[in-house]
């Protein structure tokens, strides 16, 4: 039974989120306000919000679980994500911000439609279909994490935990819009940073110190300390390492992260936030893997490795701190779920309802439609999450790769290769998405479980470039792009 202290901490946290939602309501009455916070976010909010959104319940439950299961091998995830975040802020953020401001874009599809002068709306429609499909899966994974977290900490049962988490997310996302999402992400990101700094230290100390922990892991399973894990330096080991490292590629162009760059109040905020974003992701990921490794020494044989963080915090820390860790887990979940719901809602309302069918609708009515759409999409994900408590790590990675494979190759080519065409972008988007999905369904198990991001990226870049070379770019494309990789 949960202690009154833990419940009190949780109630205070949820009350703060509800207050943030109410505070953001004033700025959510227009389309740009609801979906981009009026493009007025400072650097520190963008940095924490982008990382908190990119990590999700996958970080605190999924990656800690991977640290528990595979040990040192999980550090390939850390390498990939640190490189992905650094490259995104160093090379993608500024040009993307510059050109979305020039075009007055509210969504990523807005940018693509303007970049390629797509009067057919094909890019908007295809973007919306892909986003809504993957966001439903992705958000369902966050609700799954919510169910596991509430059950592990409070004994609510899986279903009860899913419903509680969903109710809070629906409220502040719908009422407060992107401003509430971004500032709640800031709070949640700070909590995640603190938790993943403290718990590994406590866990390693409880395991008898670093040397003792390493010795215990070696005695339990030597492969836990091998860079290539149980596979060794084999084809399977190299592919597994490449798969883990490939997770970070998505930071270069997934729509929910690109939206943060669009919402910055100026280009200077991008420059200021870059170092903070990189430092933050290092602490996040290293802390998560070390927590899992320490947990393996303290609690071997755990039935569900993805519950190691809540179990460790409950066993090693005072009740009030355990309550804080419950809040931290929820923070990771909510910081992604809210952003995904806003992303899907913007795709439907801005890119389809307004741009394709009803350009005559006023901003206030569109914002109201956006709020209703947010709830509808969330309910779809909720129904999906209630059917089965899946493994969060792999479930999230599937949706993460689907979005990244569809958008990252096209966005990168549009920014840096001036020969990219509308038809090439459309074909590349579809090819990247389908390659990732088909790989999971038909080929992944035959190729040492190679992560679907790699074939998705290969198909996305390959088709975008190949089709662009055989089609004519719009007259404006050379002048409207910031540079080129080649002619």
Kindly report the backbone phi and psi dihedral angles of residue 264, in degrees, each rounded to the nearest multiple of 5, phi listed first. -65, 145
pLDDT of residue 463: 98
Spatial separation of the C-alpha atoms in residues 432 and 258, rounded to whole Å: 18
Q: Which two tokens stand for residue 459?
A: 């198909």
Spatial separation of the C-alpha atoms in residues 406 and 418, rounded to whole Å: 19
Spatial separation of the C-alpha atoms in residues 4 and 2, rounded to whole Å: 7
Helix (H, G, I), strand (E, B) or coil at 41: strand
Task: Spell 74-98 as b/e; 16+ CB within 10 A means b.
Answer: bbbbbebbbbbbbbbbeebbbbbbe
What's 378-423 look like in SS3?
HHHHHHHHHHCCCCHHHHHHHHHHHHHHHHHHHHHHHHHCCCCCHH
Compute the C-alpha angle 71/76/82, nearest 5°.
125
Q: Residues in the chain with pLDDT < 70?
A: 1-3, 25, 27-29, 56-57, 172, 175-176, 331, 335, 363, 388-395, 474-487
Give how far Cα 395 sits from Cα of 30, 110, 191, 293, Å.
Answer: 34, 29, 24, 22
Spatial separation of the C-alpha atoms in residues 188 and 49, rounded to whole Å: 8
Read off the pTM.
Answer: 0.85
Q: Which residues pair with 264 in a beta bridge?
A: 41
Q: List Cβ neighbours of 377 (8 Å cut-off, separation of 6 or more).
A: 132, 135, 136, 139, 341, 344, 345, 348
Nearest residue to 432 via CA among 259, 205, 268, 249: 249
Spatial separation of the C-alpha atoms in residues 406 and 460, rounded to whole Å: 7
303 CB neighbour count, 10 Å cutoff: 5
Spatial separation of the C-alpha atoms in residues 137 and 142, rounded to whole Å: 9
pLDDT of residue 486: 38
Nearest residue to 186 via CA among 79, 74, 339: 339
Q: Which two tokens stand for residue 236?
A: 């399977």
Kindly report the backbone phi and psi dihedral angles of residue 369, in degrees, each rounded to the nearest multiple of 5, phi listed first. -60, -40
Q: List Cβ neighbours of 44 (8 Å cut-off, separation of 6 or more).
A: 186, 272, 273, 276
Q: Give, to the nearest 10 degrees, the angle between helix 255-262 and helix 108-115.
A: 80
Q: Which CATH superfamily is domain 4-392 in?
A: Sodium/glucose cotransporter (1.20.1730.10)
Residues shown for the chain: 487
Q: What residue spans define the domains of the chain?
A: 4-392
| Secondary structure letter of residue 73 according to DSSP | G
């Amino acid at each position: 039974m949960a202690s009154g202290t833990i419940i009190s901490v949780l109630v205070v946290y949820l009350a703060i989120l509800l207050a943030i939602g109410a505070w953001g309501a004033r700025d959510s009455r227009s389309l740009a306000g609801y979906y981009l916070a009026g493009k007025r976010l400072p650097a520190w909010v963008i940095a924490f919000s982008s990382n908190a959104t990119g990590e999700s319940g996958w970080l605190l439950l999924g990656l800690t679980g991977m640290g528990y299961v595979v040990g040192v091998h999980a550090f390939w995830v850390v390498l990939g994500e640190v490189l992905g975040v650094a490259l995104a802020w160093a090379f993608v953020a500024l040009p993307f911000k510059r050109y979305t401001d020039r075009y007055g874009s509210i969504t990523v599809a807005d940018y693509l439609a303007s970049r390629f002068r797509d009067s057919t709306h094909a890019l908007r429609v295809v973007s919306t279909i892909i986003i809504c499909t993957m966001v439903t899966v992705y958000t369902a994974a966050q609700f799954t994490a919510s169910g596991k977290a509430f059950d592990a900490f409070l004994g609510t049962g899986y279903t009860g935990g899913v419903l509680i988490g969903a109710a809070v997310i629906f409220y502040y996302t719908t009422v407060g819009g992107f401003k509430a999402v971004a500032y709640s992400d800031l709070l949640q990101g700070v909590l995640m940073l603190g938790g993943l700094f403290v718990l590994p230290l406590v866990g390693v100390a409880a395991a008898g110190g670093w040397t003792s922990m390493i010795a215990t892991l070696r005695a339990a399973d030597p492969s836990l300390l091998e860079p290539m894990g149980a596979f060794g330096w084999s084809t399977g080991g190299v592919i597994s390492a490449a798969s883990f490292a490939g997770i970070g590629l998505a930071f270069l162009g997934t729509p929910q992260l690109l939206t943060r760059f669009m919402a910055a109040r100026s280009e200077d905020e991008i420059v200021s936030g870059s170092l903070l974003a990189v430092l933050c992701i290092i602490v996040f990921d290293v802390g998560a893997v070390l927590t899992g490794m320490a947990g393996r020494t303290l609690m071997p044989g755990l039935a569900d490795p993805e519950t190691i963080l809540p179990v460790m915090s409950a066993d090693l820390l005072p009740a009030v701190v355990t309550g804080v860790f419950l809040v931290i887990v929820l923070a990771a979940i909510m910081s992604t779920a809210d952003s995904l719901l806003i992303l899907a809602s913007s795709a439907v309302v801005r890119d389809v309802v307004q741009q394709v069918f009803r350009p005559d609708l006023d901003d206030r009515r569109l914002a109201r439609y956006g709020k209703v759409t947010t709830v509808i999409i969330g309910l779809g994900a909720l129904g999906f999450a209630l059917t089965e408590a899946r493994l969060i790590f792999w479930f999230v990675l599937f949706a993460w790769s689907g979005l990244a494979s569809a958008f990252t190759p096209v966005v990168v080519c549009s920014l840096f290769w001036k020969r990219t065409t509308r038809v090439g972008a459309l074909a590349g988007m579809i090819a990247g998405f389908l390659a990732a999905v088909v790989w999971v369904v038909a080929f992944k198990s035959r190729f040492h479980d190679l992560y679907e991001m790699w074939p998705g990226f290969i198909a996305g870049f390959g088709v975008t470039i190949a089709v662009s070379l055989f089609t004519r770019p719009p007259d404006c494309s050379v002048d409207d792009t910031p540079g080129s990789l080649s002619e």
